[in-house]
Structure 1
Amino acid sequence: MSVLFSIVLPIFALIGVGWLARQRDWMGEHGAFELNRFVVYLGMPALLFQIMAKSSWKQLDQPGFIAAFGLASAAIYVLTVAVRRVRGGALADASLEGLNAAYANVGFIGFPLCLAAFGPSSMTPVTITAILTVCVLFGVAVTVVELGVSQGGSAARIIAKVGWSLLQNPMLLAPALGALYAGLAPPLPAGADRFLTLLAQAASPCALVSLGLFIAGQRGRPQLPALSVQVALKLIGQPLLTWALAAWVFHLPAPLTGMAVVLAALPTGTGPFMLANMYQREAGGVAGSILVSTVLSVLTISVLVSWFHTTA
């Protein structure tokens, strides 16, 4: 119970503050969009760059952790896309549903949650999962959506377009530049480090408040029957598969296994919603998945964090 009140609830309370601010009209309809842009273009890149710049190549060399989290995410995505296609759904919509079921909200919830639950040593593994989610999984999903909506375009052109888009993504550029800096440059100067720290410290609370603003802006009731399978895969299927891979296949140490499972159990992030809007696909179901999985994850994450604290 102490884990719930000291670690989990403060994280979700910040989401609640954002929700309340939108409901009370303290922040307008564009508040979530603008605060999200601060997180994506300034706060989170500063955090990712700083973490990677202070990490050694040895710390980043965690093939078992990468495989456990990455393979579980890939399996959930592929399974969801395949089932939707068998039922006759469009390829672009199937890709969005797959992303709904596999896209963990590492950027907005994972960093502050793991920092509180597992301490500063968790930041490098969290950064690895952020890269796997925001860059690799999202890149694959975008490519599949492009294949679904393109009329006669070549696969090479689609891949080049997606690659160029990802190269301009600050969530990808920041950790890549940070890793290069760690390997080739001297330690960060005190002034630069302090500047990055100030930006980085604002990233997590702003991200959580932004998520609350976003959830409050969704209108209408989510279609629970249609979302139940995706939400179950996200909150139960993905962490269960991650645990099986981490503990039984790759034999990770207990702390790394706990981090991998908790990160896999995070609710659906906002990436699928942004992608649905970008390609003008039906976004109501995506928003509903984010809302429902975020609310339910208060319980599931509390249980997992408590469990791994007990067994550590």
Structure 2
Amino acid sequence: MRAFNLQPKPLTLTERLADLAVDALIDEADLSPKPALVDRRGNGAHTDLHLSLMHASALSLWPAFKAMAEAAIEFGEVGLPLREALGRIGRDGEQTMLATTNGVNTHRGAIWALGLLVAAAALECTNTKASAVTLRAARLALLADRYAPRPLSHGAQVAQRYGARGAREEAQLGFPAVIQRALPQLKLSRAAGHGEQNARLDALLAIMTHLSDTCVLYRAGETGLQTMQLGAQAVLDAGGSASLAGRRRLHELDQQLIALNASPGGAADLLAACLFIDRIDSGDGIFQGAF
């Protein structure tokens, strides 16, 4: 009798990219203590979200991310056919997410951001440097999907009302909150020996210092946005989340945002994008000879 072959089947490129996208969402959810966001401590400013729901939502999106990567490989170039395929897959993925969460919007913004980045990475897997991937994602985001629903999301409505940059514009500009703020802070905090969890918290705070987070604007207006931005900067100025003074400021910010019912969900989505980009930009050969 021949022994069973217990060697795991190598992952395809599309499976690996889907894994990394889901991992980024779960890592973002687990990161603690995040100000007014769902984490291992509790629900933050939310009444309809909890950590296990965030995990279930992230896992439900794996097929959509895989399909987006497959579409990128199939079409092979940035163009309207790929853009519209991504939109269709993203909308299907959103319905799967909503069925999993009983109608709660857990990751709508993340589907947009990570979907673009997954497709951009799959388009040219030999060049997954952060700047190259975000540029390809921006070129996709600039294309208009003729089949996209016309009613504006809450985030888009708020962006119009306040003249803020929404998730769409952030992607169209190549994710500046990630490239210019989150990734540099992540690397800076790592280099200072602050530990991975503190480095990720500092990256989130770096995003929050300048982002016009439409989730915060929708829930708490300009007062909430100013509280978020100034509070996040105060944490970093105090030494970041690895310092005692920074932790005190972080606790204060958490309490202030919860009191305002202001949850920085847009910043959380961009942190997940940062973690995804960080992994494919690491230069450890993830996409070379691993499939």
Question: TM-score normalised to the size of structure 2?
Answer: 0.30
**Structure with bigger RCO (C-alpha 8 Å, 6+ apart):** 1
Question: TM-score normalised to the size of structure 1?
Answer: 0.29
**Which has more helix, going by share of residues?**
1
